[in-house]
Amino acid sequence: MAISATTIATSIAALSVTGVTIKDLTGIPEAVYARDCPLLFPQPQPFMANLRLVRQSYGTGTYKKDVLYTLRYVYLHCQVGSGRGIYDIYQDAIGKITAVIDTVLANDVLSGAIDIVPQDVINVGQLTGPPHADDEDPPLYWGCELLFEVTEFED
């Protein structure tokens, strides 16, 4: 069995969270516009982090092990500016972030993983989004990064 990070990303993209568009690895945006938000997509640098192996059996030849790693996602709620301060959007943003977390927690049949649990919410605030082709400076968005701890079993 191979590590299934791509399958897990596809499974996460198939989840339904009201008001949030979720992308998989083939949908990482080159540019994000205000109309695209709220948006959740894999953090391309790095998508996978903190890889660990935990041996579950001993003996000659191959051994069974748990493979644990973290998948990183970016959540962009809306573009900074246009009269939108943090206090104007914060409640809605936190509501959507927790809806994503709740949906992952409630879904214990994501393809490719034994278990996937939210690990952390980091960098809450202004994030630099992918640049627009016509802008000199990449736009800023209100958002955060979501980290998910994945456990797989390898033979």
Amino acid 129: pLDDT: 82
- Please state, rounded to an integer, the average pLDDT across all residues of the chain: 84
Lowest-confidence segment of 44-48, 49-53, 55-59, 118-122 by average pLDDT: 55-59
Structure confidence by residue, pLDDT tens digits, 132-145: 666 667 888 999 99
Strand partners, 74: 41, 145
Amino acid 61: pLDDT: 63
Exposed/middle/buried for 154, CB within 10 Å: 0-12, 13-18, 19+? Answer: middle
Domain count, the chain: 1
Domain containing residue 84:
5-154
CATH number of the domain that residue 107 is part of: 3.30.2000.10
Res. 49: pLDDT tops 70: yes
Its sign, for the CA torsion 55, 44, 8, 108, is positive
The SS3 of residue 91 is helix
Structure confidence by residue, pLDDT tens digits, 90-113: 899 999 999 999 999 887 666 666
